[in-house]
Amino acid sequence: MNGILYLLIGGCLAGVAALAFFQEQHIGRISSSDVVASVVFLSALAATACMLIYSRRGRKLWSRLEQKAIDEDDRVRTNARTKGEVRPPLGS
């Protein structure tokens, strides 16, 4: 779930950066279109986050991701016991 939210935030930031390149450059002034674009991007991010957190589909996705992590941990523990494999560090 966090990865999806990070992807959404990154997409919104990329959209704002792209919009900055296509607008006229007014250093130091904030136009109404800048405010509208910021509000639209933040609203889209908030709406998507709420749908992922509170909707049935979002909860199903969250439980599927949690189950996938649990299954992976079980597989790693089983391999550690039976084959002597060691889990790689999380940062690698």
pLDDT digits (tens, 9 = 90+) for 26-48: 666 767 887 888 888 888 888 88
Q: What is the pTM of this model?
A: 0.45
pLDDT digits (tens, 9 = 90+) for 55-81: 898 889 888 989 998 998 888 888 888
Taking the CB of residue 51, how many other CB atoms lie within 10 A of it?
11
Report yes or no: 80 and 87 within 8 Å, Cβ to Cβ: yes
